[in-house]
């Protein structure tokens, strides 16, 4: 397909105590594709997610979503523009119900407090609509039977599904999934993979971090490889082994 980037990143960098966690000179994310992001521990994948979704601020750099610069935005603003992310360690609020956790997604990420404090009337007005949408997403992820349970009672894999449902509440154009399969049992892994593919089939752009090369090869349309903060390679999934830098930095003896 001809290049149609939804995200364009230039010269983004983030340093922690002298360590360059991220130094990405240029990266484009293709619209409508599933991009797999791989790289050894500490490569900067999570930091990169944090930066472009507004959860952390870079030392320098610019990045845009659909051509709109996102640099100074906080997460709920980024969510309203169409980009949301999930976390490696899920952020479900254990003492709220599954349904309420998903409903909170409507406020955009970390927007709950902002909305609750500034505009409770907005919340009330849209409440029925929000609840309907949350139930719809719970059905999609086969969590509807758990709607009234505390999120804290869910298994690791169910929490991953809950987090995806919650992320979809703002109808994003692009979702950034940080290790969606980590800690998930094999049966649910298969179902998560199907969910990710169906998002792509509906036109949602997906970027996901994953360590399992079989999973990467199974569902990625494109693979980006990071090491020591930098993008060291990009390729079709079945051509990864052709790249010496990738084999050295990541695939090792595999
Ligand atoms: P993993 O696969 O283990 O999740 P990663 O590729 O997501 O790794 P990051 O978590 O982004 O990598 O870490 C990149 C580098 O930045 C590491 O050296 C890490 O120790 C450092 N780092 C990340 N966040 C912070 C922080 N808040 N304070 C200090 N150093 C940090």
- Please tell me the distance between residue 229's alpha carbon and the centre of ligand 1 in angstroms: 9
pLDDT at 117: 45
The C-alpha atoms of residue 242 and residue 38 are separated, in whole angstroms, by 16
Whether 123 has a pLDDT exceeding 70, the answer reads: no
**Which of 21, 38, 52, 53 has the most ligand 1 atoms within 8 A of CB, as the residue to mutate?**
21
Whether 244 has a pLDDT exceeding 50, the answer reads: yes
Whether 29 has a pLDDT exceeding 70, the answer reads: yes
- Please tell me the distance between residue 20's alpha carbon and the centre of ligand 1 in angstroms: 10
Q: What is the DSSP letter of 249?
A: I
Mean predicted confidence (pLDDT) in 193-216: 94
pLDDT at 253: 46
pLDDT in tens, 138-196: 999 999 999 999 999 999 889 999 999 999 998 999 999 999 988 888 888 888 999 99
- Please tell me the distance between residue 56's alpha carbon and the centre of ligand 1 in angstroms: 12
Q: Determine if ligand 1 sits within 6 Å of the CB of residue 13.
A: no
> Can you tell me whether residue 68 is helix, strand or coil?
strand
Nearest to 37 by CA among 85, 91, 108, 97: 85
Q: Determine if ligand 1 sits within 6 Å of the CB of residue 71.
A: no
Q: Determine if ligand 1 sits within 6 Å of the CB of residue 41.
A: yes
Q: Determine if ligand 1 sits within 6 Å of the CB of residue 180.
A: no
pLDDT at 187: 84
- Please tell me the distance between residue 140's alpha carbon and the centre of ligand 1 in angstroms: 33
pLDDT at 163: 92
pLDDT in tens, 92-112: 778 889 998 998 888 776 555
Do the strands 19-30 and 83-85 form a parallel or antiparallel pair, or are they unpaired? unpaired
Map 124-136 to HEC letters.
HHCHHHHHHHHHH
Q: Determine if ligand 1 sits within 6 Å of the CB of residue 54.
A: no
Whether 72 has a pLDDT exceeding 90, the answer reads: no
Q: Determine if ligand 1 sits within 6 Å of the CB of residue 167.
A: no
**Which of 38, 42, 49 has the most ligand 1 atoms within 8 A of CB, as the residue to mutate?**
42
- Please tell me the distance between residue 203's alpha carbon and the centre of ligand 1 in angstroms: 31
**Which of 20, 22, 45, 183 has the most ligand 1 atoms within 8 A of CB, as the residue to mutate?**
45
The C-alpha atoms of residue 100 and residue 134 are separated, in whole angstroms, by 8
pLDDT in tens, 6-27: 999 999 999 999 899 999 999 9
């Amino acid at each position: 397909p001809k290049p149609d980037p939804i995200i364009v990143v230039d010269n983004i960098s983030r340093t922690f105590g002298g360590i360059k966690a991220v130094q990405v000179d240029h990266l484009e994310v293709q619209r409508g594709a599933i991009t797999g992001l791989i790289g050894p521990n500490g490569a900067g994948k999570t930091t990169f997610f944090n930066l472009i979704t507004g959860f952390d601020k870079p030392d320098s750099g610019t990045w845009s979503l659909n051509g709109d610069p996102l640099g100074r935005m906080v997460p709920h603003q980024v969510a309203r523009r169409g980009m949301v992310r999930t976390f490696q360690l899920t952020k479900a609020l254990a003492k709220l119900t599954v349904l309420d956790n998903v409903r909170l997604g409507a406020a955009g990420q970390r927007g709950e407090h902002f909305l609750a404090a500034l505009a409770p009337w907005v919340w009330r007005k849209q409440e029925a609509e929000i609840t309907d949408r949350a139930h719809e997403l719970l059905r999609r992820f086969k969590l509807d039977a758990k709607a009234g349970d505390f999120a804290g009672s869910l298994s690791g894999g169910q929490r991953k599904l809950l987090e995806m449902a919650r992320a979809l509440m703002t109808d994003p154009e692009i979702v950034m999934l940080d290790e969606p399969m980590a800690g998930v049992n094999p049966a649910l892994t298969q179902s998560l993979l199907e969910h990710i593919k169906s998002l792509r089939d509906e036109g949602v752009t997906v970027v996901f971090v994953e360590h399992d090369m079989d999973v990467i090869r199974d569902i990625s349309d494109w693979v980006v490889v990071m090491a020591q903060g930098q993008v060291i390679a990009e390729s079709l999934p079945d051509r990864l082994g052709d790249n010496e830098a990738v084999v050295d930095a990541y695939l090792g003896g595999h």
